[in-house]
Each structure stands twice: as structure tokens, then as C-alpha cells.
Amino acid sequence: MTSPLLIETRKAIDDPQLQDLLDRNADRRRQLRESAFHQLPNAADLRDRAKAIRRETVSNLAAHLETFASRLTENGIHVHRAADGEEAGRIVVEVARQHDAELVAKSKSMVTEEIGLNESLAAAGIQAVETDLGEYIVQLRGEPPAHILTPALHLTKEQVAETLTEELGEPVLPDVNEINRIARSSLREVFFSAPIGLTGVNFGVAESGTLCIVTNEGNGRMVTSLPPVHIAVMGIERLVPSMDELAVMLRLLPRSATGQKLTNYVSLITAPRRKTDPEGAEERHVILVDNGRGALLGTPLAESLDCIRCGACLNACPVFREAGGHAYGSVYSGPIGSVVSPALFGMAEFGHLAKASSLCGACVDACPVGIDIPGMLLRVRSTAPSNSPSVSRGLKTYAWIARSPTRFRLAQRLAGLATRYLPTQAEWITSLPGPLAEWTSFRDFPGFATRPLRSRLGELRLEVQPRNPEIEPPVQTERMPERDLDDSRVDDFETELKELGGEVIRCLESDAADRIMGELYVLGGSRVLTWGQVEPILFTVFQRIEEEFQVILPELPADGSRGGILSEYDQAEVGITGSLAAFADTGTVVLSTASRRSLLPSLLPAVHLVIVRAKDIYPNMEAWLEAGGSHFVANSSDVVLISGPSRTADIEMNLTIGVHGPGQVVAVVIE
């Protein structure tokens, strides 16, 4: 019996273009991940911590879910529980109907793929538009994503250009920047007009009822900030107890997924829009989807719920590298998919996937939360061995033989005799019979020894005089400890942001206004989207900007109407904001909607100019959380961590910047 995976793999292997794309993905992603972890001083400890966090969270899932749901409710977010995909679909349709919505703007979410949400919506006459570049393209092509992180992994830029040409009715060149530009402009309409934004959730923070959503392109920010209604769909296992554990996960997830120190945009959403917020969804819903997860708790496959969907095991897997994502026939492919798919969707249909592994363990090595994937593949195999009758009989006979040394010796002799008569080439067998014929289809076989080792014992010197061992301690090859961050926060912030493609201008407060004005002249443009007077430093600059430029202070109408206002904001060439804090180790700035500070200047224009005070630069996220950041997140409706320009590598692994968010980030650091 040939498994569906093998049939599809045959096609994948015969497609040199796909093989090339898969190789590129494997090589590039592995290299990026390894270098990201190499730079992390305590990677092994962090991984152990992350594993312990996931184990604890999943083991006490009911309690954490309870806390999370009550915090969400207290924060004013509607909580729904869905036992399966159908129920989740019904809830989304209901919410959409309450708002007469016919269009939903979606950011990438695997759980919605899992439950076929787009199909449920389509059946109710509601169009869901995917806004992640890769996902947008596969949606246009009517294909499922080929990778949980890089949906269009299987497509060349030529194929993407063809798809867009067909969709838009005008020729699109097979150039990644051009594709990017076109996606940016055509999806703007969707962001600005959709009454509902729909996202997944990377982590739900139980203690504060916070939704953490990470995107590189900025589409996650668009769909949670611009439409008046936000629906977040998440698997019940995607929780962390508090912000401290979230910080650990945020160190590991981006490094594992894309080799980034931090994802470009980390949204931390704790409430719907408040009176003092200039934007943000007025109504937020969270749908907690079980869909088979609860039933896994306490079973041998419960560890699969530890997965944080980083995709690292797919990129490390030699089988995925040959087969590609589609061959698995499940939304979850690769090593973890071969466990999750049978665990969630049924052994009968997906149990065979667990056999498609050499158990090489590259997946465990890559897994940021240390899931024993080979161990779980073995558990799936033992539940659903799905071997052919002849293989099954053969293995059981072998087990019977090996339980007795007498039978074993006899079998060895018989095998030795039998293989003597098979065709050989330089003493190795070139053709084996029966189920072993597959071996010799591309490899020679050594054949059984006519005299096995146990028959040669008499000739072996099994007792000899001890030699005097030279006692010499083995050479230890330990990595050098990483440098200390403390006294060079501004330098580090500058280095990191520049590495991400951002620019850094360092100046004294007295020069700040001149430097910012100078920068604005250089950037050109005539319209500036900004916060206005809420920051003392901005206040000084503000008056001068107002004299020279058209200044827009964004505030979305509270009644949910958007009209043309967003398109108007979108005309601004530059956005200027301050920042609440910054992280030296990742070149990150922290912004929030609190106190009428709009996030739109950091999202809509092509250039984001951000003012950072040197004293607000913390060594890292943990230091900020400790110094009150956790409290701040819990009490704000929307906090965003921004690390460099918006970017994507969705097409042929080519990094392009400025997808949905700004393509240029300039930090003015005031020392």
C-alpha cells in the first residue's frame, strides 16, 4: 500500500523547480536560525525554561484558560469557546452578521486554516481576504499554504507575478519589489474598508488577558487597529501564564522561525479601544478553539500541545525538504505536523505520516521548546502501525526469533546461506527479493555473513593484558561567553536597528529639533502624520513642523465609520512618534495607544521617524517588563514593539522591506 504522502512526494521530487525552492528554504532558514541562536548567550538554558513553561502551561491548561477567560472578560473582550471548527465558524459568522459585514481582513492564522474558516465564511456569503503576502498569493491561487510560516514557499516569483497579473488584469513583472508594492497598494483597500479584522494569536497571556500577535509585514497591526471589530481565533493551548514567560517565548519564537531576534511587530492587545485611544477596534472577540486539543491532555501525545508553531522543525527536516508541505495532505506538515495531524484529525487518515521519518532528530534539535518529536512519532506509530501485512509479519517473526539465542543463531545461518546465491557485484548483493527489493533499487546490500560474529569468538583474543592508560582529561570545546550589554545601550540599540535596515541619528536634546527638521527636508514629502503635543520633545518640534508641513493628527471616528479618512491618512509620507521605551539588544521601540498616542504614524506612512530618549533604552525586553512594562501592558489596550522596517521573505526567500508597514525607520536618539 503506497501512502498518499509517497505519491505526492514522487511528484515533488520530479519537480526540479520545487526542489530548488525547498532547498533554498532549508539552507537559508537553517543558517539564519543557527546564527541567531549562536548569538544568544544562554540559548540552552532558555530552551530548558521554555520547555518547562510549556509543560507546566499544558499540564494545568484548564486553570490557565479559566484565568485567561476571566481577565479577557474583565478587560472588555468577548470570550467564546468553540468545541470544534464548525462551532468556531458559526461564531465568526454570527459576529459578522451583527455588523452586516461582508468582508473580513485576515492576518495569517494556522488555526483558521485548520478549521476551514474561510470556507465557512464563504458559505455564509462573507469574503475573507488574506493579507499576509504569501497567504494572499496562495489564496488567489486557491491553494492551501505550503508551510506554516511561508505559505508560498512552493512558488517562484514568476508564478506569483502570473497569479497577480491574472487577478489584477494588468501585467505584473516577476520582481519581488514590484510584487511587494502591488500587494501593498491593493491590500490597503481591504484594510481600510473591512468592518472586521480577523487574526490568530501567537500567545495569550493568562495573567493579564493580553493577546500577543506577531507579524513582520505589519498586516497584523492593520487588522487589529483599523477595522472597528477584531476577532481573534486561537487554539486553547496557546497560553503563557504571565508576561515573564511571554518574554522567554518571544526570545525563542522569532529566532526559531526566521532567525530574527524579534519579529518586526509584536502587538500586545489587552482591551478594545478606550476613550483615550485615537484608534483600535471598538469591539474585540476571542474564540478559544478546542478541536481535539482537550482530548489530548494526559495522553501520550499531549506533548504535541507544547508546539508554538515556529516552523523550525519543518525547515530542519530532511523529509520535508524532499516532500514539501503539500505532500502531507494536512495544514500541519513536517515533523510536528506528522504528530499533530494524526493526534487532532485522526489516526486512520493521518497515522501514516508518522512513518515518513528516519527519526534523525534534526527536529528536536531545532525545536525551541524541546518537544521529543521522534518519541511522539514512535507513539503514533505504535497506535497506528499501518505497516503492510508482509512487513508486519516479517517484523513480528523477527521479534520472535530474537527472543531466543538458539533461534537467532539458526536464522543467521539460514540467512547467510540464502544470500550466498543472490547476484553480487564486488561481493555486495545487487538484487534482493520480496519486500527488501526496495533496498537494492538504488543501493547494494552486503549480505549476511556466512560466519556471524558469534561463530568467531574462539579466534578472538577476548582476554588480554591491560595496557597502562595515559590519564589525560579530554579537550573541552566550550563557546566563549557573550559580551556584557550594560554600558553601551545606545551603541547596541544603534547597531541592532541598523542591522535591521533602520537608521539612527544621535543628538543632544538642544539639537533635536534641528536634526528632525533636517531629516524631514531630506525625506521630502509634504504631509506628516504625528502625535501632536503629547510628548514634550514632540511639542518643540511640532510647532516648527506645522510651519513647513501639513500636519495630520490621526483619530478614527468612535462610531466605527472609517469612510475616506484612512485613505487621507495614508497620503502622509512621514509619520513621527515618540516612544515609551526601547530595547538595546533587538533595536526595538515600544509604542502604545495610551494617552491619545496614535499608532498609525508608525504604521501607515512609508517612513517612520521615532524619537527615543537614551534613558528609555533598556538592555532588553525582560528589563523593561521588570521595570514596569508588564504592568503597563496589562493596563493599555494596545502596545506594539517595533523592530525595524516592515519586511517579508515570502517569495523565494528574498527579503524585501516595506510590505504593509513603513519601509524606512529612522530613530532619533536623544542623549
Partner 1 sequence: MRVQLLATCLIDSLFPEIGEATVEVLAKAGARPSFPPDQTCCGQPLLNAGYPAEARALALHTMEAFSEKIPVVVPSGSCTEMIRHRYPELFAGDPKLLRRARAFAERTFELSEFLIDQLMIADLEAPTAQVLAYQPACHLLRGLGINRQPLELLQEIPGSSVERLEPECCGFGGVFSVDHALISEEMLKRMIRQIEDTGAETVVGCDASCLMQIEGGLRRAGSNIRCSHLSQTLTGREPGLR
Helix, strand, coil percent content, the chain, rounded in steps of 5: 50, 15, 35
Binding residues for partner 1 restricted to 262-321, rule: CB under 8 A: 318-319
Tell me: does residue 431 bind partner 1 (CB under 8 A): no
Tell me: does residue 448 bind partner 1 (CB under 8 A): yes
Total residues found in the chain within this entry? 671
Q: Provide the residue type at 643 as one letter.
A: S
CB of 328 to partner 1, least distance (A): 12
Given a contact cutoff of 8 angstroms between Cβ atoms, the answer to whether 542 and 551 are in contact is yes
Beta carbon nearer to partner 1, 70 or 358: 358
User: 67 vs 266, 269, 399, 623, CA distance in Å?
Assistant: 23, 16, 50, 25
Tell me: does residue 393 bind partner 1 (CB under 8 A): no
From 75-83, 229-237, 377-385, 658-666, span contacting partner 1 (CB under 8 A) = 377-385
Among candidate residues 203, 288, 304, the one with its CA nearest the CA of residue 250: 203
Q: What backbone phi and psi angles, to 5 degrees, belong to 450?
A: -70, -25
Determine the Cα–Cα distance for residues 70 and 63; give it in Å rounded to an integer: 11
- The cell numbers describing 602, all together, are 508608525
For residues 400 to 429, the per-residue mask of contacts with partner 1, x marking binding by CB under 8 A and - elsewhere, is: -xxxxx--x---x--xx--------xxxx-
Beta carbon nearer to partner 1, 441 or 510: 441
From 34-42, 181-189, 393-401, 659-667, span contacting partner 1 (CB under 8 A) = 393-401
Tell me: does residue 443 bind partner 1 (CB under 8 A): yes
Q: What pairing do the DSSP bridges indicate for beta strands 283-289 and 127-130?
A: unpaired
Binding residues for partner 1 restricted to 313-372, rule: CB under 8 A: 318-319, 322-323, 355-362, 364-365
CB of 475 to partner 1, least distance (A): 7
End-to-end Cα separation, the chain, in angstroms: 70
CB of 436 to partner 1, least distance (A): 7
Q: What pairing do the DSSP bridges indicate for beta strands 607-613 and 581-583?
A: unpaired
- Residue 157: which residues within 8 A CB-CB, separation 6 or more? 174, 175, 176, 179, 651, 652, 654
By CB under 8 A, name the one of 100, 389, 433, 441 that touches partner 1.
441
By CB under 8 A, name the one of 66, 86, 438, 514 that touches partner 1.
438
CB of 166 to partner 1, least distance (A): 33
Tell me: does residue 34 bind partner 1 (CB under 8 A): no
What DSSP line would sit under 288-339, residue for residue? EE-TTSGGGTTSTTGGGGG-----HHHHH-HHHHHH-GGGG-SSS-HHHHHH
CB of 36 to partner 1, least distance (A): 18
Beta carbon nearer to partner 1, 447 or 525: 447
By CB under 8 A, name the one of 38, 393, 420, 454 that touches partner 1.
454
Beta carbon nearer to partner 1, 396 or 615: 396
- The cell numbers describing 113, all together, are 486554516
Tell me: does residue 479 bind partner 1 (CB under 8 A): no
By CB under 8 A, name the one of 16, 433, 461, 478 that touches partner 1.
461
Beta carbon nearer to partner 1, 439 or 521: 439
By CB under 8 A, name the one of 395, 417, 558, 627 that touches partner 1.
395
Beta carbon nearer to partner 1, 123 or 436: 436
Helix and strand counts by DSSP (H, E) for the chain:
26, 24
Q: Provide the residue type at 609 as one letter.
A: L
Tell me: does residue 41 bind partner 1 (CB under 8 A): no
Determine the Cα–Cα distance for residues 411 and 414; give it in Å rounded to an integer: 5
3-state secondary structure at position 284: strand
| Cα 432 off chain centre by | 45
CB of 331 to partner 1, least distance (A): 21
